[in-house]
Structure 1
Amino acid sequence: MGSGQVTDSSAPFDFRGKHVTVAGLGVSGVPAAKVLHGLGARVTVVNDGDDERARTQAAELETLGVTVRLGDGATLPEGTELIVTAPGWKPDKPLFTAAHEAGVPVWGDVELAWRLRDRDGRKAAPWLAVTGTNGKTTTVQMLASILRAAGLRTAAVGNIGVSLLDAVTGDEEYDVLAVELSSYQLHWAPSPRAHSAAVLNLAPDHLDWHGSMEAYAADKGRIYEGNRVACVYNVADKATEDLVRAADVEEGCRAVGFTLGSPAPSQLGVVEGLLVDRAFVEDRHRNAQELAEVSDVNPPAPHNIANALAAAALARSFGVSAAAVRDGLRAFTPDAHRIAHVADVDGVAYVDDSKATNTHATEASLAAYESIVWIAGGLAKGATFDELVAGAAKRLRGAVLIGADRALIREALARHAPEVPVVDLDRTDTGAMLQAVQEAQRLARPGDTVLLAPACASMDMFTNYNKRGDAFAQAVRELGA
C-alpha cells in the first residue's frame, strides 16, 4: 500500500457559461443536466435512444432551457468544454474518442457529485464507499443501518437508487454517506477520496464493457485511491488485498481485512458464533472486541456474514461503537430477491435469490444450504459454469433449468454432477416459472431447500430480476394454496 500525501484533484470548477454536454438521459443524466443548468452552465444532452420515455424527459429539460439531441449520442457538440456521462456508456463510444482528441475531460455523475459536495459553505459529508462484484447493495444498506444506530445522519446512496448528486446538492445535511459504487461509476470518477472504502470481492463480470479482467479490477481499485483511514479487503479474496497494496493513500491509512475465520490483528472475523474486531481496538495484537452474534445477521448465510463484517469495518473506521454495530445489524432487513425465504411447504424451504445473476453470486448462495434443488438459467452473458457446478455438486439434490442459455448449465452438470437429476424445461415464457417450481417440489425431500439462484440475467424471460423473483414467489404461494 503506497503512502504519502495524496493531492485532491477536485479543485472548484466554475460552471457559469461553460458548455457542458451530458451523455445519456435516465436516472443520472436528468439530475446532472438540472444541476448543471442551475449552476449556470450551457447544457446540451445527447442520447442514443429516441423512445417515448426519452422524449418525455427531453421535454421536461427543454422547458428549463436545456438543449436535447435524441437519437444522436455519437457526435460531440461543437464547443463542448466538459462531458458528464451516464455510468453505463462504454469508454469506446465515438463520443468519447472525439472528446479525447479534442482534449475535453469526461466525468461521471459520481465525479460531478464529488466536485460539488462542499459548495455553499456546507461541511462536506465524508464518504464510506463500497464496491465489489457482489454484495455491494446489501453491505451499504447494512452500513447505513449501523450508522443510523450510532445516531449519525446518513443515507445509502450511489449505485443504489438514491442519486449522489441529490445527496450532495439537496437541503438535507449528513454526517457521513454510505456510498455504493459500481465499476462503471469508478471508471468515470478519478477524483473521489473516501474516508474509508471496501472492495468486497472480485470475479469476472462486465468484461464486455471493461475489455479485460485487469481493466475491471483496476477500475474497482480506484475506490481505495486517497483513502484516509482504512482500506477494507476480503482476506479470502487475494485480488482485493492486491488492490490495497497498489493504492496510493493518505499517510497513516491502514489495511483492514475481514474473514469468516478467526481474525488476525488488523482484521474483523468470526469466533465461536461472534463477530469480533481486532482492528479498531487498543493493543489489537492481544485484544478483541465483540461486535455482534452471527444470529444478528439477516440472513446468516456465509456471504452475508462477510457483508456484515465489511460494513462493520467501515463503521468502526468512523468511530462507531460495538453496540451500534450490533443494533444496526439487528435492525437491517435485506431487500427482496436477495436470498429471501419465501415459505416452507411440506418441510421444504423455498428461497428467492433472483439477484444472483452471475456465477460468483450463485456460488455464495449455493454455499448457504446443505441440500438443494437448484432452479437456474437465463442469459449467461458469456459465463461458463463448470467451476460453479463442480463446487456445488455435493449439495445438489436436483436441478431445474429454464431460460435461453440453460444448455450451458445442463452440460456443466453432466460433466461434474452426472448423478444429479436434471429437469430441462424447454420454455422461455414467464409461465415457465410455475412449472419449474412444481418440478422442484417433485424432486425435493423434507429438509431440502428449493433455491432460485439463476447464475444468469433475466431478460430472456422477464423484465428484470425483480419480476423473476416475484414469479417464483407467486409460484411457491400456489403450491401452498
Structure 2
Amino acid sequence: MTGEPSGEGLANPDFTDLRVTVAGLGVSGVPAAKALHALGARVTVVNGVAGEQQRAEAAELEALGITVRLGDGATLPEGTELVVTAPGWKPGSPLFTAAARAGVRIWGDVELAWRLRELQPGKPAAPWLAVTGTNGKTTTTRMLAAILTAAGLRTAAVGNIGVSLLDAVLGDEPYDVLAVELSSYQLHWAPSIRPHSAAVLNLAPDHLDWHGSMAAYTADKGRIYQGNQVACVYNRADPETERLVREADVEEGCRAIGFTLDAPRPSDFGLVDGILVDRAFVDDRVNSAQELAETADVNPPAPHNIANALAAAALARAYGVEPAAVREGLRAFRPDAHRIAEVATRDGITWVDDSKATNTHAAEASLAAYPSIVWLAGGLAKGAVFDDLVLKSADRLRAAVLIGADRALIREALARHAPQVPVVELGRTDTGAMAAAVAVARDRAQPGDTVLLAPACASMDMFANYNQRGDMFAEAVRRLGADDSDESTDTP
C-alpha cells in the first residue's frame, strides 16, 4: 500500500539533526513538532490549509525556530528522513507517495509517543491499556480511567480523546498507567506499539473511504492486539473481534478475555442476574466468579453501555485492579455530552440525546436500549445503508421523524421493512429544522415513549458537528417545556 508504515528503527535514535517532516498541525501535529524540535530534530511542518487557526499555530511554532509551510501538504521537503503524520491524512496522499518513493519511513503521532516513552531518563515508561472499536471507544476509555483512578493509580484518558499522547509521555510527572483510545487512523500509522492489554469493542463498516475496504479497516483495528502482554479483550457478540485475537502475535502467556451481556464462560466477563462479574481473573475460573458491580452502577445502564463497562473492567482487572475499585470507578463515571444523555422527562415522555450516534452501528445500539421510541434521524449517510438497522429496530418504533440531506434513504428503508411505522419527513435543511422535528415528535409520542435523537448519520449537512446538533435538540426540548409552562399559567 502507498504510504505503508515501517516499524524499523532509525540510524539516529536520539533524533539529533534528524530531518523530520510533520504532516498536519492541530492537536496532533503541534505537540509532535514541539517534541521533535526539543529533541534536536530539524523539523518542517506542512499543512494544506492556511486558515486563521493554522496561521496562529504556525506563528507559535516558527517562534521556536520550526519551519512551517502552509497551503502545501503535497510536496515532500528535500532531505526528509522521517515523516510524522497526524492521523487523518490518508495513506494515498501525495506526500506519502513521495515518501514511499524516497524510502522515507512514516510514523503517526502515536508511534512517535510509543518510541519516545522509552527515551525518558529516570522515568519508567507507563504501560498502555488500549481501546479501539467502531463505537464506544471514548466511553470505555474514560470508564477505564475512572476505574484506575479509583484504584489509586495516577492515570489519564489519552489518545484519540483529544489529549495528546505525546504530552502524557513527555510530561514532568510520570503516570502509573495510561488509558489509551486509538482510532483506526492512528493504528494504521503505529506499527510498533505493544500495549499491556487491549480491547476491540466491535466492528462495523466505517471510514471505508479512508481505508479503502472493510478488510483494511479491520486489519488496522487488529493492530492493537499485536504484542499484547496480559490480555486481548474481545466482544463475544462480534466474532470478528475474536478472529483478530486468534490471528494476533502476542507475548507468551497473554490470554483471550471475552465480554458478553450473557452469563460468562470461563475467561469471560459477563452478566448474572443484573451483576457484572469477572470469571477470568479469579483463582478458580471454572467454578467461581467475582462480583464487580451492578448494572445500576453503570451510567446510563443501556445494554451497549454495560458492554462498555465490562470491557473497561476486563482491562482494569488485567492490570491487577481490585474489584471494589471497579464498582467505585463505574459509579464515579459521568458520560460525555450527546451520548445517550437524558435531556428531560415530561408528561411521561423521556427525551434522549444520542447525537454521537453518527453511524448505523451506534444508532442500533441506542435504539435497542428503549422499548417504545419516536426516532429522530437523518443527516449525511456517508454511504451507509439502513435496511439492517430498520429490520432490527422496527418493533420498537412508534414513529420516525426524519431530517437532513439523506433522510430519503432512511424513509425508503422504513417503507421496505417497517411500513406500519408512521414517518414524518421534514424537507427544510436549516438548523431550525431541529425545533420543528422536536415539535412533531411531541405530537407523535405517548406516555411511556422515548423520543430518541439517534441520527445514524453525520451532522455536517445542517450543523457544525454532532455537538451542535445535540445542543439544538436539547434546547428545543427545553423550549417545549417553557412553552408548556407559559400556556398552563396564561389567564384570559
TM-score, scaled to structure 1: 0.98
Task: Report the secondary structure of 2:411's partner residue.
Answer: helix
Q: Which whole-Å CA distance do the structure 1 matches of 2:204 and 2:12 have between them?
A: 36
Structure 2 CA distance for partners of 1:9 and 1:367, relative to 1, 3 Å:
farther
Amino acid at match of 2:23: A
- Tell me which residue corresponds to 1:290: 291
- Tell me which residue corresponds to 1:199: 200
Amino acid at match of 1:83: V
8 A Cα contact 2:12 2:18, kept in partner: no
- Tell me which residue corresponds to 1:386: 387
Q: Which whole-Å CA distance do the structure 1 matches of 2:13 and 2:379 have between them?
A: 45
8 A Cα contact 1:157 1:178, kept in partner: yes
Shift of 1:8: 9.7
- Tell me which residue corresponds to 1:375: 376
Q: Which whole-Å CA distance do the structure 2 matches of 1:8 and 1:206 have between them?
A: 27
- Tell me which residue corresponds to 2:123: 122
- Tell me which residue corresponds to 1:477: 478
- Tell me which residue corresponds to 2:309: 308
Structure 2 CA distance for partners of 1:11 and 1:378, relative to 1, 3 Å:
farther
Structure 2 CA distance for partners of 1:228 and 1:234, relative to 1, 3 Å:
same
8 A Cα contact 2:379 2:405, kept in partner: yes
1:189 and 2:190 correspond: yes
Q: Which whole-Å CA distance do the structure 1 matches of 2:121 and 2:368 have between them?
A: 49
Q: Which whole-Å CA distance do the structure 1 matches of 2:135 and 2:10 have between them?
A: 29
8 A Cα contact 2:379 2:404, kept in partner: yes
- Tell me which residue corresponds to 1:23: 23
Q: Which whole-Å CA distance do the structure 1 matches of 2:312 and 2:296 have between them?
A: 16
- Tell me which residue corresponds to 2:176: 175
Task: Report the secondary structure of 1:144's partner residue.
Answer: helix
- Aligned-residue Cα RMSD (Å) equals 1.2
Amino acid at match of 1:262: A
Per-residue CA deviation, residues 404-425 of structure 1 (Å, 9 max, x unaligned), is: 0000000000001101111100
Shift of 1:185: 0.1
- Tell me which residue corresponds to 1:431: 432
Q: Which whole-Å CA distance do the structure 1 matches of 2:445 and 2:8 have between them?
A: 57
Per-residue CA deviation, residues 194-238 of structure 1 (Å, 9 max, x unaligned), is: 000000000000000000000000000000000000000000000
TM-score, scaled to structure 2: 0.95
After superposition, residues 1-150 of structure 1 pair within 5 angstroms as: 13-118=13-118, 119-150=120-151
Amino acid at match of 1:349: T
Aligned residues: 475
Per-residue CA deviation, residues 342-385 of structure 1 (Å, 9 max, x unaligned), is: 00121100000000000000000000000000000000000000
Amino acid at match of 2:200: V
Task: Report the secondary structure of 2:121's partner residue.
Answer: helix
Task: Report the secondary structure of 1:368's partner residue.
Answer: coil
8 A Cα contact 1:109 1:165, kept in partner: yes
8 A Cα contact 1:430 1:462, kept in partner: yes
Shift of 1:137: 0.2
Q: Which whole-Å CA distance do the structure 2 matches of 1:331 and 1:467 have between them?
A: 26
Q: Which whole-Å CA distance do the structure 2 matches of 1:45 and 1:152 have between them?
A: 36
Identity %: 78
Runs of 4+ in 1 over 3 A off after TM superposition: 7-12
- Tell me which residue corresponds to 2:337: 336
Amino acid at match of 2:66: V
Q: Which runs of 5+ in 1 are unaligned?
A: 1-6
Q: Which runs of 5+ in 2 are unaligned?
A: 1-6, 483-492
Task: Report the secondary structure of 1:463's partner residue.
Answer: coil
- Tell me which residue corresponds to 2:488: none
Shift of 1:121: 2.5
Q: Which whole-Å CA distance do the structure 1 matches of 2:171 and 2:131 have between them?
A: 22
Shift of 1:172: 2.0
Q: Which whole-Å CA distance do the structure 2 matches of 1:331 and 1:12 have between them?
A: 45
8 A Cα contact 2:31 2:166, kept in partner: yes
Shift of 1:10: 9.4
Shift of 1:120: 2.2
Amino acid at match of 1:439: V
Q: Which whole-Å CA distance do the structure 2 matches of 1:239 and 1:405 have between them?
A: 29
8 A Cα contact 1:10 1:115, kept in partner: no
Shift of 1:428: 1.0
Task: Report the secondary structure of 2:199's partner residue.
Answer: strand
Shift of 1:43: 0.4
